[in-house]
Amino acid sequence: MLEAHKNVDLPALHSIRPQRFLFCTLAGAGYVLPAMEIAKVLLKRGHQVAFVTGERFAPDIEACGAVYLEPPGGTFKHFHIPYWGLVSGVELQARYTEGAIRDWKPDCVLSSSLALGPMIAARKAKLPVAVLGLGTYTWPVDGPVDGPVDGPVEGSAENSVQGGGASAEYTALASRRLSECEEIYEKVCALLGAEAPECKGVKDHRLALLGDTFLLQSVPSLESRPLPQNVSLIGSCFPESRPLDTQSKGILREIAGREYLYVQHDARWVNSFLQNGKTQEGVPDFLPLMAEIAESQLIVVSSNDPELRNTAKHPNIIVGHHLDHSVFIPHAQLIIGVGTSSLMLSAMRNAKPLFIITTASESFDVAAVCERSGTGLVCPAGEISEQKLRDGIREILSKKPPKSSRKKRLERVQKEFADRDSSALAADALEALIER
């Protein structure tokens, strides 16, 4: 069994005959952008790559040299993130992918973690299928949940914003997620007339939800638990930089020479929100919470809400729409958000501490990684307040322990990411999968 702290030694297969790869990703930047980086490597090696995903990514996909396969009728929303946990959405994903397999005739399929439809269609077509995971392992893990490799963060037990609850929430959530996904998988298999592989538990490498190869975007210091044999730690495939747009250039001019906090604002910064048809608790009162902090700190906010710029009037709160993390995180003092893989991986690659406000789903996965590795602070959304946020910021920015311990851990994680040619490792794994 491959343990999480080990790397996978894959043969150099760059000289194998050209192959055709079908990438089926959920329609979010955190899923599409890493897949595109892997596609670029495969294309340079002489392979062909086609994508099935949301249509808004078609121009970028075609610009990198891959093929975008249009859905039937020209529009298709069931690869969008809100549909991943709905039987009707997964069924349509699978049927869309079946058509792509029929027309493109791929040798291998790469699916996103939680994109169940492509996994089912690939199994039905008896094609090898790999799964590109996020920065966190989404399924239950047998055995103990490890803490930081060099012991707990000094003083954290008394800290009101880091009580250790995220790991317990993650464990419960991962078990529920597995049960729900197995049920959805079996129902959609029945609808498509596909044989549902037996699900014997996460240690079984044939577990359908892991695919034949599961590529986890993590490193040993963040994932020290024993994982299934077909899980590989490949580092981060997110692009390190992209061309600066006009919006980013303007904000950089405005904040030049000033220290700032970087905040990711998304749909979960509301009192409640819907996910897979269920109401989830959000982070209340974003602007009042941040306005108090902005009295003494410059805050740069990346938001997917275009109206936030019109309502955030504080001179120390600068709002951008879908800012590129790789532009602003390297120069930030710390990162605040509800917890996404893209935010976490960008922070870790730049040795920046995180303050995670847990809400639902991936938020708990990311928070549990921060707790286990001692690289950030965590507070549940229902308990967050201006005082707790201020206390957390003060602790992170303090020059005294536990900052010194946290800084060493972050620097070790940063080096582990830097030492990996992640997209090439992923491409090697896909080539090896075909050659098995």
The verdict on residue 6 lying in a domain is no
Separation between Cα atoms, residue 123 and residue 208, nearest integer Å: 9
Cα four-point dihedral sign 140, 436, 132, 416: positive
| Co-location of 216 and 299 in the same domain | no
* Token pair listed for 310: 């019109």
CATH number of the domain where residue 63 is located:
3.40.50.2000
| Co-location of 305 and 431 in the same domain | no
Q: Is the distance from CB of 25 to CB of 32 less than 8 angstroms?
A: yes
| Co-location of 339 and 396 in the same domain | yes
The verdict on residue 152 lying in a domain is no
User: Which residues form the domain of 428?
Assistant: 20-146+180-239+420-435
The verdict on residue 395 lying in a domain is yes
| Co-location of 354 and 406 in the same domain | yes
Report the predicted TM-score, pTM, of the whole model to 2 decimal places.
0.87
DSSP annotation of 244: P
The verdict on residue 13 lying in a domain is no
The verdict on residue 158 lying in a domain is no
The verdict on residue 8 lying in a domain is no
| Co-location of 83 and 224 in the same domain | yes
Q: At what angle do helices 87-104 and 165-192 cross, to 10 degrees?
A: 60
- pLDDT (tens, 9 = 90+) of the chain, 436 residues, equals 233 334 444 444 555 689 999 999 999 889 999 999 999 999 999 999 999 999 999 999 999 999 999 887 666 788 888 788 899 999 999 999 999 999 999 999 999 988 999 999 999 999 999 999 999 998 888 654 444 444 444 434 333 354 446 777 788 888 888 888 888 998 999 999 887 665 444 444 346 789 999 999 999 999 888 888 889 999 999 998 778 899 999 999 999 999 999 999 876 666 555 554 555 555 656 778 888 899 999 999 998 887 787 788 899 999 998 899 999 999 999 999 988 899 999 999 999 999 998 887 788 899 999 988 999 999 988 888 889 999 999 998 886 666 678 889 999 999 999 999 999 999 999 999 998 7
| Co-location of 91 and 109 in the same domain | yes
The verdict on residue 186 lying in a domain is yes
Q: Is the distance from CB of 209 to CB of 139 less than 8 angstroms?
A: yes
Structural domains of the chain, count? 2
Phi then psi for 112, rounded to 5 degrees? Answer: -75, 150
pLDDT tens, 312-355?
889 999 999 889 999 999 999 999 998 889 999 999 999 999 99
| Co-location of 82 and 205 in the same domain | yes
Separation between Cα atoms, residue 335 and residue 348, nearest integer Å: 10
The verdict on residue 286 lying in a domain is yes
pLDDT tens, 212-237?
999 999 999 998 888 888 899 999 99
| Co-location of 215 and 256 in the same domain | no
